[in-house]
Structure 1
Amino acid sequence: SRQLLEARDPGAVIRGILDALVRHLKPERGAILAVDPDGAFRPLALHDLPLGPSPDEWPLSLSVLRHVRDSGLAVLASDIRSAAAFKAAGSVHRFRIRSVLAVPLGPRPVRGAIYLDTRGDRRAFSAEDLEFLNAVSLHASLVLGRAEDHARTSEALVRSDERLQVLQEELLRHEIVGRAPALLAAYDALTRFAKAGARVLLRGETGTGKELFARGYAAASGRAGGAYVPVPIPALAPGLVESELFGHVRGAFTEATRDKKGRLELADKGVLFFDEVGDVEPAIQTKLLRFLDSGELFRVGDTQARRVDTLVVSATNRPLEKDVEGGRFRGDLLARLGHVIQVPPLRERPDDVPLLVEHFLKRYDRGKKSFSEEALAVLRAHRWPFNVRELQQVVERTVCLVDHDRIGPGDLPEYLRQGPAPTASLALGRPVPLRVVVEEAERRHLLSVLEQTGGNRRKAIELLGISPETFYRRLEEYGVHKKGSEEGG
């Protein structure tokens, strides 16, 4: 009993049950069989009973097995040759079967059976034998059920591991590096929505790789062979945003010397990516809302509606709900941008830092450079306010400036080695929200970059890898003058 309870492999459990029955009941032959959903018998364990692929040729009483399967009742035939229900069966005489004992496994529908028999002048089974076998079958059903549940769970875990492996391979194909559960879950959701053609809104901080996710969406969708059209909203010239998005006809304005398709039209039968969709001007939001609702657009200066069939994925690092409350963004447009997927920041997946370092080393270094464990520890501890893009620049800088192959902590930028200074409230031991800590780290890093560039804002924007709009918005949010000094000293 204890051995059966401790066993986890279904095959071992079944063999153990049959071995125990053979020892106690002394049958000449025996079998434990499963009943498949279609009613067919499938051998699980055998004792001196060769069962081939064709049940009709099995050297046992199929009539007994079918009776047990169909009725859910046990059969005890001390002398089956005189049993009215089975004496006419050809198998009884052909295989010289004398005594048969068979019981069902599990409640109806029966999911298995135990079959024992003797032949010739061997001993006949008794009512006591049936009582013993019934008790064993109840116990066996429970143990077998638990073992099968364990097997199903193990198979599910294997499938889960295989799926994670596929996801990691897919991530690498789009240069999204990492194994963090939050990252894999986000990408898994992305591909599922993409295959369904559902709209997606990618939310995450600057530098988390939202554009890479958007490309992954396009590749996973049914439009992988179609156009992938990115629309970087902040980079569009303010006076030409409408024309860039919706196109124009000749003569619509002074510079319109010919008809031109907008980016929305170019994405027909493909995938359209709105990068930093939160920066769309209010006047354009209304027209964008109409396009998302109807799939139709009007080129600037035209009265003819044009229909566009495109999948839409958007991205933002803005708190759009606050923008809706402040009247800067339409709530009905936000509702139509689709299912939200949160791309996790790098500080929430520190174990991915070494993987990213290795990835960027392969890109920038053709030699044998590597980061020491101490250097990697410094990188893991950093808060990465500008996320993967910031780490990428650190690796590139180190590869360019360090001559020796082994990169240590002393080779890293000074601001990484010093770490962020604590805020006043932290210094006094008062707990503060995580948001405050993150904002302080971002603010200090922005100031550090401004200091390194001598106040050159254009160079700072380039080093940070963010748009001018995002850069100046950060200056305003953190109370920093555009020349790099802070308000209030």
Structure 2
Amino acid sequence: MDEAATETCAGGETPASSAPPSSGPAVDRLALDAIYEIAKTFATAPDPIDEVPNILNVLSSFLDLRHAVLALLSEPGSEGAWGTVNPYTIAATAFVRDKAADPSEVIPDEVVRIVFRSGVPLVSFDLAEEFGPDAVPARLRGEGQTMIAVPLRDPERSHFVLGVLCAYRSHEDQRAGLSDLDVRVLTMVASLLEQALRFRRRIARDRERALEDTRRLLQSVSDQNGNKVPPISLDGIIGDSPAISEVIAQLRRVAPTRTPVLLRGESGTGKELFARAVHTQSDRSRGPFIRVNCAALSETLLESELFGHEKGAFTGANALKKGRFELADGGTLFLDEIGEISATFQSKLLRVLQEGEFERVGGTRTLKVDVRIVAATNRDLEDAVARGEFRADLYFRICVVPILLPPLRDRKSDIRPLAQLFLDKFNETNATNVRFAPDAFETICKCNFPGNVRELENCVNRAAALSDGEVVLGGELACRQGSCLSAELWRLQEGASPIGGLAVGRVVTPSIRRSVAERPVERELPPDPAESFPRRKTANTAREELIAAMEEAGWVQAKAARLLGMTPRQVAYALQKHGIEVRKI
């Protein structure tokens, strides 16, 4: 018995024959019956996605559309998310499959990519001929297959493609007009699924709103009883979430001491703000707070900036210059992006951190300073130490008290007060009186903000600057207009956006298919060896890393410069500095 005959419909009924009749009206009646069964299932489903396997079995039982598959874009942070081989997952199938298997084993990767990008249905009348024999799933090989794939759109934003619904039909079952009917049926099924998802989202949104109203009511009662807990505000740090409360508690405990602090967290979490808080809460608050961005300076300039230089120490040193360590004497020195300094400079920095002594560049007199070090990084220093890129002794010197700053997505209750703060700053700076409507705040509070607080501030300023009136509506936000960079980045598929720009309901013709397939896709190029090396802005490169890059580039200095993110002149200088002889190949 073949696979289609073993699959049963969701309503428990099986047509008399597993193969559709040859007459047109009979096939149309079966299609109508299938849509009716599918609509009934979606109407009562608490989770539409969980019912999709039953829906796919209905298509197999009524219309003999076999091996049906639903592929959805991966959610950020989940298994199979962006950056992996396939940025989509198989959400449902009409058959049993190994979940650990690659998605391309049940649906051709190139077909999925085309539908995601074009946003229109695709029909491949001979899958093996058009996309190669390997594109045909293993269980369907041995006979010709027609593939029909239609897009599944975002229920809230129809121009976003969230998934692909596809099914196969054997060449033995081909009749005139049957493929057109298959496209219409699958498109209707996708529309029913979109409507079910929209309804479920609205229910979830109403539930969240009810829970929020209940929380506010309880908070109001607590305030009236005199139990109001004021939001935490410490030197510009605002928030009342458990994550930020724990960080501030750690900060208050460690600030009065002289212990070095290492602030860790993603870019945009406000590491400099927390470093200033450590300084102002300490007994050094009357002393200077000096900041240095270690990633913005080359090794030579960084040494001069931190230690200073004597007059005539090098070309252009026309006068004595005090370094940041001298300027921070009696106060706090904030070393931002400390994970980016070179191995050579790490040894120089270690001495001053251990002994509090150093010499200016070009000088011989030893200077002694009393400086508290607060460092910050968004790198995995433990991994860098394991790979020999960061000195272990320096790591243990700066990482005495590590404080992990939570990303904004882990402290969502702080988004609203932060957004209001940024809006107030915008109004004060620009002499305006812009306000956010409730739906605008609601939309902002649901964002993940991968750029964290910095991205939130940019989002608020953009919305306030582009608003047509004094009230910013939810529809005016970038994410609601399809122009939010973060929202687009979540949907990047192998270097190209899956947002469809063609008319809904058109079937992809061979010419359209070729034009879509020929669009430049970064991931289709051979892997760039530069991904193996950290990008740098200077000639501050370790000897081993430089040799590795030169060998990867076949000892071509221009290519090695591209791999390292340097200029050919910087590579030539680094080769001369380390005494590396250029090989002739």
* Contact residue 289 and residue 333 of structure 1 kept, 8 A: yes
Instruction: Trace 1:250-261 onto structure 2 (pairs within 5 A).
Output: 250-261=311-322
Q: Which has the larger radius of gyration?
A: 1
The separation in 1 between residues aligned to 2:432 and 2:268, in whole angstroms, is 27
Partner of 1:262: 323
The separation in 2 between residues aligned to 1:232 and 1:443, in whole angstroms, is 31
* Contact residue 268 and residue 308 of structure 1 kept, 8 A: yes
- CA drift of 1:442 comes to 10
The separation in 2 between residues aligned to 1:214 and 1:404, in whole angstroms, is 38
TM-score, structure 2 normalization: 0.43
Which stretch has the larger CA shift, 234-243 or 402-411?
Answer: 234-243
Q: After the TM superposition, which parts of structure 1 deviate over 4 Å for at least 4 consecutive aligned residues?
A: 161-165, 415-423
Letter in 2 for 1:399: A
2:238 aligned counterpart, secondary structure: coil
Instruction: Trace 1:142-291 onto structure 2 (pairs within 5 A).
Output: 165=230, 168-169=232-233, 171=234, 174-291=235-352
* Contact residue 268 and residue 453 of structure 2 kept, 8 A: yes
Q: Do the aligned partners of residues 256 and 339 (structure 1) sit closer, same or farther apart at CA in structure 2, a change above 3 Å counting? A: same
TM-score, structure 1 normalization: 0.51
Letter in 2 for 1:168: I
1:273 aligned counterpart, secondary structure: strand
Letter in 2 for 1:408: L
- CA drift of 1:398 comes to 1.1
2:448 aligned counterpart, secondary structure: coil
* Contact residue 164 and residue 184 of structure 1 kept, 8 A: no
* Contact residue 385 and residue 442 of structure 1 kept, 8 A: no
Residue 379 of structure 2 is aligned to residue 314 of structure 1: no
1:390 to 433, 455, 458: 455
2:414 to 336, 352, 355: 352
Letter in 1 for 2:437: S
> What per-residue deviation string (whole Å, max 9, x for no partner) do you get for residues 386-444 of structure 1?
10100101111111110222222210114786889999xxxxxxxxxxxxxxxx74979
Letter in 1 for 2:414: D
Identity of aligned residues (%): 40
Partner of 1:364: 426
Q: Do the aligned partners of residues 442 and 350 (structure 1) sit closer, same or farther apart at CA in structure 2, a change above 3 Å counting? A: farther
Structure 1 stretches lacking a partner, 5+ long: 1-160, 424-439, 449-467, 471-479, 483-489
The separation in 1 between residues aligned to 2:238 and 2:299, in whole angstroms, is 35
> What per-residue deviation string (whole Å, max 9, x for no partner) do you get for residues 50-82 of structure 1?
xxxxxxxxxxxxxxxxxxxxxxxxxxxxxxxxx
Instruction: Trace 1:411-422 onto structure 2 (pairs within 5 A).
Output: 411-414=476-479
The separation in 2 between residues aligned to 1:388 and 1:269, in whole angstroms, is 31
The separation in 2 between residues aligned to 1:251 and 1:442, in whole angstroms, is 55
The separation in 1 between residues aligned to 2:240 and 2:451, in whole angstroms, is 20
The separation in 2 between residues aligned to 1:189 and 1:399, in whole angstroms, is 35
Letter in 2 for 1:269: G
The separation in 2 between residues aligned to 1:248 and 1:421, in whole angstroms, is 44
Instruction: Trace 1:297-446 onto structure 2 (pairs within 5 A).
Output: 297-337=358-398, 338-365=400-427, 366-414=431-479, 441=490
Residue 359 of structure 2 is aligned to residue 295 of structure 1: no
1:177 aligned counterpart, secondary structure: strand
* Contact residue 250 and residue 258 of structure 1 kept, 8 A: yes
Letter in 1 for 2:313: A
The separation in 2 between residues aligned to 1:281 and 1:321, in whole angstroms, is 16
Structure 2 stretches lacking a partner, 5+ long: 1-225, 498-534, 538-562, 566-585
Letter in 2 for 1:294: E
- CA drift of 1:469 comes to 6.1
The separation in 2 between residues aligned to 1:421 and 1:284, in whole angstroms, is 36
The separation in 1 between residues aligned to 2:288 and 2:318, in whole angstroms, is 26
